[in-house]
Structure 1
Amino acid sequence: MPKTSFVIVILLLQFFIFSSIFYSLFSLCQKRYFCYMQELNFPSYTFRFKNSENKVAIFDEIRKKFIILTPEEWVRQHVVHFLIQEKKYPKSLINVEKVLHVNGLRKRYDIVIFNPNGTIFALVECKAPHITISQNTFDQIAQYNMTLKSQYLMVTNGLHHFYCTMDFENEKYDFLRALPEYQNPSFLSH
């Protein structure tokens, strides 16, 4: 075999080995960073992403900053877009991940929708897609809500969504088919 052919064969082998290693690393990166991007039971939305300290971050339209992408954050950002685009809630009435004091304890809520007068209209609890929504999940959010007095609750893992309205007099909640839209006159009456 001539020397030139031998060099070409070596270069091709190196190329294929490098390509194989690169493909393996790329696949690993995809599994590590993009497994969170599971398709959820929401309309399709456009999100902004960036690499932050070797982690994928997603832009939060409410907090106006990039947040490290986790499975729960993926659900939370879908809910934010759902509330704004489908339910027509103004961004100014939506708050994301703030601390509340409930019965002397510090609790962090996922999403709150306020009435224009500043009272809480709806409380949203987001879970990662692999988390099963159970009775305990509802009991927990309803318990927080006895203090907060939100009229509506939403619990979702991105795949299954549950909506309810509170009956404070009887200390219970009733399930609904959907969360009311912002333009709904009942929104402004609470």
Structure 2
Amino acid sequence: MQRLNFPCYTFRVKNRENRTLIFDEIRKKFVVLTPEEWVRQHVVQFLIQEKNYPLSHINVEKQITLNGLKKRYDVVVFKPDGRLHILVECKAPEVNISQSTFDQIAQYNFKLNANYLMVSNGVTHFYCQTDLMAEKYEFMQEIPEFSR
């Protein structure tokens, strides 16, 4: 897989039936290693190892319903009180992050109400703080580290 703009992390990888699988610590199972999954697993390790978020506060690939349509978010981080803190949208490295990517995560956030947004294709990362009342977001240099 392609080298990403993250620190080097160690992953459990195996091959089965001509497919490469990677172990997802959050889902506690091996999943097919696609370019987007490679980014998602790096984001999870970044949140755990660099930003100190507990594994128990992170959720991956869950379905939500938006305007009657079933969608899946990539990664969310919860606060200790259970409120949503960070919503992450992952794209494959070859996918350019565009306005439509931000429109997608903003649409998800109308339902989820996260304080922070992160968009990454593994090469480029964007971080935003949301203002839900004004329905806008402000770009930041980093997302905050875990704090109780």
TM-score category of the 2 structures, normalised to the smaller one: over 0.9
User: What's 1:100 paired with?
Assistant: 64
CA distance in structure 2 between the aligned counterparts of 1:167 and 1:103, rounded to whole angstroms: 22
Which residue type is aligned with residue 82 of structure 1? Answer: F
Which residue type is aligned with residue 44 of structure 1? Answer: C
CA distance in structure 2 between the aligned counterparts of 1:60 and 1:127, rounded to whole angstroms: 17
User: What's 2:124 paired with?
Assistant: 160
Question: If each structure's helix is expressed as a fraction of its own residues, which one has the higher value?
Answer: 1
RMSD of the alignment, in Å?
Answer: 0.9
Q: How does 1:129-148 map to 2 (within 5 A)?
A: 129-148=93-112
Q: 1:91 aligns with which of 30, 55, 64?
A: 55
CA distance in structure 1 between the aligned counterparts of 2:138 and 2:9, rounded to whole angstroms: 30
Q: 2:37 aligns with which of 54, 73, 78?
A: 73
Is the 1:52–1:68 Cα contact (8 Å) retained in structure 2? no
> TM-score of the superposition, structure 1-length normalised?
0.76
Q: CA deviation at 1:142?
A: 0.7
Which residue type is aligned with residue 100 of structure 2? Answer: N
Question: 5+ residue gaps in structure 2?
Answer: none
Deviations 1:122-179 (A, max 9, x none): 1000000000000110011112101211110000000000000111121111001001
Q: 1:149 aligns with which of 86, 108, 113?
A: 113
Question: If each structure's strand is expressed as a fraction of its own residues, which one has the higher value?
Answer: 2
User: What's 1:116 paired with?
Assistant: 80
Q: 1:170 aligns with which of 112, 134, 144?
A: 134
Q: Which runs of 4+ in 1 moved over 4 A?
A: none
CA distance in structure 2 between the aligned counterparts of 1:94 and 1:53, rounded to whole angstroms: 30
Query: Structure 1's 71 and 177: CA in aligned 2 closer, same or farther, altered over 3 A?
Result: same
Question: 5+ residue gaps in structure 1?
Answer: 1-36
Higher relative contact order (CA 8 A, sep 6+): 2
Q: CA deviation at 1:100?
A: 1.1
Q: CA deviation at 1:81?
A: 0.6
Is the 1:49–1:56 Cα contact (8 Å) retained in structure 2? yes
Q: Give the secondary-structure state (helix, strand or coil) at the position aligned to 1:136.
A: helix
Whether 2:13 is the aligned partner of 1:49: answer: yes
CA distance in structure 2 between the aligned counterparts of 1:168 and 1:89, rounded to whole angstroms: 23
Q: CA deviation at 1:105?
A: 2.1
User: What's 1:7 paired with?
Assistant: none
CA distance in structure 2 between the aligned counterparts of 1:97 and 1:62, rounded to whole angstroms: 10
Is the 2:73–2:108 Cα contact (8 Å) retained in structure 1? no
- Identity rate of aligned residues, in percent? 66
Is the 1:72–1:128 Cα contact (8 Å) retained in structure 2? yes
The number of residue pairs the alignment matches comes to: 148
> TM-score of the superposition, structure 2-length normalised?
0.97
Which residue type is aligned with residue 161 of structure 1? Answer: H
